[in-house]
Amino acid sequence: MTSEVTPELFASVPDQDGRFGRFGGKFVAETLMSALADLEQLYARLKDDAAFQREFDEDLAHYVGRPSPLYEASRLSDAIGGARILLKREDLNHTGAHKVNNTIGQALLAKYMGKKRVIAETGAGQHGVASATVAARLGLDCHVFMGEEDIRRQALNVYRMKLLGAQVVSVTSGSRTLKDAMNEAMRDWVTNVDDTFYIIGTVAGPHPYPMLVRDFQSVIGREARAQSLAQYGKLPDALVACVGGGSNAIGLFHPFLQDESVAMYGVEAGGKGLETGEHAAPLSVGSPGVLHGNRTYLMQDDDGQILETHSVSAGLDYPGVGPEHAWLKDIGRVQYVAANDDEALAAFHRLTRVEGIMPALETAHAMAHAEKLAASMTPDQHIVVNLSGRGDKDILTVAALDGIEV
Amino acid sequence: MSRLTQVFADLQSDKRRALIPYVVAGDPSPEGTVSLLHSLVDAGADILELGVPFSDPMSEGPVIQKGHERALGNGMSLQRVLGMVAEFRKDNDRTPIVMMGYANPIERFGYEAFAAASAEAGVDGLITVDLPPEEVDAIDGALKAVGLDNIFLISPTTPEPRVQKIVERARGFIYYVAVKGVTGSAQLDTDEVARSVSLIREKTALPIAVGFGIKDATSASAVAASADAVVVGSALIAEMEQKAHSAEDLEEIQIHGAAVQLLQSIRAGVDSSPS
Ligand SMILES: Cc1ncc(COP(=O)(O)O)c(C=O)c1O
């Protein structure tokens, strides 16, 4: 992609067909096309509607607990001796991750559309919990699709969803992880399209989802930008976020895209190492293709079959990535790198011991890269890391990896 | 005249409705697929719909999903599916074959390369579930250039103005998806189907096939009262699956036999339909 990178460029995507350059679009069965058109129309109307925005902002303030702090991890930064690391504390949100910013927004859309039933796919269970939470609050019937493998490794979140009144549907097809949960959610949506709202958990799926999830999550970057200016009188030098589907990353990055001085790093799951093939890093080593309603970078074989992925963190275990990231990679605005399982696990322990903050394993991938990056920078420079979620859900996984029986 | 046009013209002069079985290429085995296709023709198929296996068949219900999984487990690829069509064509140059699948394997193959290879192999049409009109231009153009038909889907949720736009660019035939749902699901509402088919018919002279939800002679007969063609897939695959599990050491031909038998009875249902 050689189109010139100008501020206007970032505001111009997606276009009316849902394209981010050659990525995005609406690759779904005909049955869903009118539901997507309805959603698009409703969102186009509500996006700039003052009453809708006020309702969204108030829910974020009083229910989610926003704004989330921008916290300087001093001991960690001192220990590294390079750039100062600032943590955008999405782990302090109600339900413990950034996911809720989006589910609050989409639940409002469901309410405006008069839908009584919501469905969601989930990997780590954070989006499932956030969906079950807003459904409980609005009295909506909620079904969460989750791969059998993820149900096993995220047992605590499964029980949380059930306590919240959601039905957790075990998905046993394919690799039994997030990608298959998304297939199954799409199948449910096709079947129940009249009364059901599909709350997609990341910036993937068909247009308009990548756009509206980005818009809802952009509260992260807007706050971080304002906090950085207020607390330090300047913008950060770099941003770091983990990338599964890419919603916490785009939420942090998007409000900074026009700030040329701010470097951005999206961190994919390197799994057992990019060279082993056992990872979930489509931007790092994948190729363009079509999955789950959009064109993006995918992990696929020569025949166009989607490959199974591996990551220690269920929330990053996905063979695709949001189309806007695919575009940001191509135009060179964001750099995408990978952190492997071991690096993430080490970063998990370090942040827990040095700062008393236990990050989600997804988030630990961002921390792993931020530490490396900080070491290559100077103490007058700032890195903002999206601390996308808390690690309580992962403690059994961490214990198992460390060979400890709880 | 294309094979598809020819078949529909012949049927119309005989006042008969087309029967279109769907099977997944490479299921239950790659070695058996071509002979299964010939058997289906002998059992009364007018057109064959050949599923191209994909790792993430988002519009399929559990029965066809498993067919895709088995086929991929058997090492199927798009290239091999095309090889099967070419093999079939050695003994049958008359029965049209429509491939049905998902966009990604075709993207990977390359649209133009795929169109050329399909024409060469003897494919007649293509249904790509996740390429709605908004996304279909590239493949549609490539297929048109080699004389193949892109088959468009219309569903119960397609608004009328959109139906108009779709039929304007359709070729071969129209595929009406009879249920909101995945393949093999839900109860068929034949009154709704009849209403929708007549609505589409007001807008186009192309033949209209109806698929999704047709399970047996009764439902096929009911649908054939309004449609020009009846598609049946999950029921055939379920029948073969059941047969395969019924005993050990079955010959594959015996498994095929289960589908053949069902198709014969559906043929009778279609032919007995009042029209
Ligand atoms: C805490 C946390 N961070 C990150 C992710 C990855 O998702 P995304 O890339 O959409 O932010 C998840 C997904 O479950 C998550 O739970």
The model's pLDDT over A381-398, given as tens digits with 9 standing for 90+, comes to 999 999 999 999 999 999
Chain B's closest residue to A293, CA to CA, is B130
Q: What is the ipTM of this complex?
A: 0.96
How close is the Cα of A98 to the center of ligand 1, in Å?
A: 8
Phi then psi for A155, rounded to 5 degrees?
-55, -35
Chain B residues whose beta carbon lies within 8 Å of the beta carbon of residue A28: 58, 130, 132
Instruction: For residue B105, give the nearest of A187, A192, A304 by CB distance.
Output: A304
pLDDT tens readout for residues A46-71: 999 999 999 999 999 999 999 999 99
**Per-residue pLDDT band at B275 (split at 50, 70, 90):** low
The candidate with the shortest Cα–Cα distance to B63, out of B76, B51, B48, B46, is B51
Please report, for residues B28, B30, B65, B238, the alpha-carbon distance to residue B70 in angstroms, rounded to integers and kept in the order given.
7, 10, 9, 13
pLDDT of residue A1: 44
Q: Which of B54, B129, B181 sits opposite A305 (nearest CB)?
A: B54
B58 and A305: CB-CB below 8 Å?
no
Domains A26-59+99-213 and A66-97+218-401 are alike in CATH topology: yes
The mean pLDDT value for B17-27 works out to: 98
Q: Is the pLDDT of residue A92 over 50?
A: yes
Look at residue A3 in the predicted model and tell me its pLDDT.
Answer: 54
Query: Quick check: CB of A127 below 6 Å from ligand 1?
Result: yes
C-alpha dihedral, A79 to A81 to A84 to A85, nearest 10°:
-40
The full set of domain ranges for chain A reads 26-59+99-213, 66-97+218-401
Is residue B186 predicted with pLDDT exceeding 80? no
| The pLDDT of residue B54 is above 50 | yes
Q: What is the pLDDT of residue A47?
A: 94
Mean pLDDT of A179-198: 96
| Cα A48 to middle of ligand 1, angstroms | 27
The full length of chain A comes to 406
Determine the distance in angstroms separating the CA of A208 from the nearest CA of chain B, rounded to an integer: 14
Residue of B nearest to A35 (CA): B157
Count how many domains chain B has.
Answer: 1
- Asked if residue A210 has its Cβ within 6 Å of ligand 1, the reply is no
- Contact between A183 and B134 using a beta-carbon 8 Å cutoff: no
Residue pair A234/A256 in contact (Cβ under 8 Å)? The answer is: no
Q: Domain range holding B201?
A: 3-272
Question: Given an 8 Å threshold on Cβ–Cβ distance, is A186 in contact with B156?
Answer: no
The confidence band for A7, taking pLDDT boundaries of 50, 70 and 90, is confident
pLDDT of B175 > 80? The answer is yes
CB proximity under 8 Å: B 173-212 to A: 177, 180-182, 185-186
CB A164 within 8 A of CB A133: yes
Put residue A313 in one of left, alpha, beta given phi > 0 → left and psi -120 to 50 → alpha: beta
Residue A202 CA to residue B89 CA, distance in Å, equals 46
Range of lowest pLDDT (A149-158, A197-206, B207-216) = A149-158
Q: Parallel, antiparallel, or unpaired: how do β-strands A141-147 and A287-291 relate?
A: unpaired
Percent composition of chain B: helix, strand, coil (DSSP 3-state, to 5)? 50, 15, 35
Architecture of domain A26-59+99-213: 3-Layer(aba) Sandwich (3.40)
- Residue with the bigger pLDDT between A354 and B185: it is A354
Query: How high is the mean pLDDT of chain B?
Result: 96
Distance (Å) from the C-alpha of residue B134 to the closest C-alpha of chain A?
7
Domain at A66-97+218-401: CATH code = 3.40.50.1100
Q: What is the pLDDT of residue A2?
A: 46
- Please tell me if the CB atom of residue A388 comes closer than 6 angstroms to any atom of ligand 1: yes
Q: What pLDDT digit, counting tens, does each position of A298-334 carry?
A: 999 999 999 999 999 999 999 999 999 999 999 999 9
Q: What is the pLDDT of residues B78-127, one digit of tens each?
A: 999 999 999 999 999 999 999 999 999 999 999 999 999 999 999 999 99
Tell me the CA–centroid distance for residue A126 and ligand 1, in Å: 8
pLDDT digits (tens, 9 = 90+) for A129-180: 999 999 999 999 999 999 998 998 888 899 999 999 999 999 998 888 899 9
Output the residue whose Cα is nearest ligand 1's atom 15: A315
Interface test with B, best of A16, A26, A27, A178 (most B CBs within 10 A): A27
Residue B191, pLDDT score: 94
Among A17, A27, A300, the residue with its CB nearest the CB of B130 is A27
The C-alpha of B106 sits at a distance from chain A's nearest C-alpha, in angstroms, of 7
Token pair for B273: 């339909």
Task: Detail the DSSP E strand segments found in chain B.
Answer: 18-24, 48-51, 97-101, 125-128, 149-150, 152-154, 174-177, 208-211, 229-232
